[in-house]
Amino acid sequence: MFDALLDALGHSWWAYPLIFGFCTLDAILPMLPSETVLLTGGILAADHSMILAWVIAMGALGGFVGDNIAYRIGHSAEGWARRWITRGERGKRGLAWAERQLERHGGPVVVVARFLPGGRTATTIACGVLEFPYRQFVLYDAIGALLWATVNTLIGFVGGHAFDDRPLLAFAVSFLVALAMGGGIELVRWLRRRTRATEPQQPAETPVG
């Protein structure tokens, strides 16, 4: 059944718009599995059912468009956007983290946040809420969207080649690799935060005179 579903998807013209749609909507509806769609597209590209470059292009373009929609939501409807994204404790922490990181590191956070669970939505909306310069946002978001789409699609592509004729196993392994990548970035973040928390605070200098 899974093989038949992949075969139908891979030979359908609407598979590319579907990738674009999922990657666009995932920016404002994070429950949509855009990474899963890219992994699947990569697996299908491995057996030539889909075109690798087109899968990456649709994923990157969809991600870029979705992020810009999220930015505009944060910019034009700050009160509503903040209430929506912070509706739960996790959402509040995510937005607070995004605000701190944007103030501290600027644009590169837009790239890194794409690979963090829930980081993409919180960061793009936070950019709008904080009125982060739009030209900088567009530049870093374009880099992040292309990198994100390329990495996730290639994970599926490599998995599809490694487990030829076993697409279900290829998908399972590719999904675990993508999950481990996101978890690894999150672990590095946690370790850095813990290291900073345990570092002794430098005493304030006493004014002379």
pLDDT, one tens digit for every residue, the chain (209 residues): 445 556 656 667 788 998 999 899 888 776 667 888 898 888 888 888 889 999 999 999 999 999 999 898 888 765 666 666 656 676 667 677 777 777 777 778 888 888 876 678 878 888 888 888 899 999 999 999 999 999 999 988 988 777 676 666 666 666 666 666 656 555 555 555 566 556 555 554 444 44
| H or E element, residue 169 | helix 167-198
Which domain does 127 fall in, by range? 1-196
pLDDT on residue 128: 85
Contact 161, 44 (CB under 8 A): no
What is the distance of C-alpha 53 from the center of its chain?
Answer: 19
Does any domain span residue 89? Answer: yes
In a domain, 201, yes or no: no
Please count the other Cβ atoms lying within 10 Å of the Cβ belonging to residue 189: 15
Q: What is the pLDDT of residue 55?
A: 94
Q: Residue 208: inside a domain, yes or no?
A: no
* Backbone phi, psi, residue 51, to 5°: -95, 120
pLDDT at 165: 67
**CB proximity list for 16: less than 8 A, separation 6 or greater:** 50, 54, 55, 58
Q: How much is the pLDDT for 54?
A: 94
- CA–CA dist 123, 104 (Å, integer): 13
Any domain includes 114: yes
Q: Residue 199 carries which DSSP code?
A: S
Supply the pLDDT for residue 206.
42
Residue 91 domain-assigned (yes or no) = yes
pTM: 0.75
Number of domains in the chain: 1
Nearest CA among 155, 142, 131 for reference residue 35: 155
pLDDT of amino acid 195:
63
> Alpha-carbon distance 12 to 16, whole Å?
8
**Structural domain includes residue 205:** no
Domain assignment present for residue 206? The answer is no
Q: What integer pLDDT is reported at residue 40 of this predicted model?
A: 86
What is the pLDDT, as a whole number, of residue 120? 81
CA 185-53-36 angle, 5° bins: 45
Provide the pLDDT for residue 62: 95
Supply 147's token pair. Answer: 């990198």
Residue 131 domain-assigned (yes or no): yes
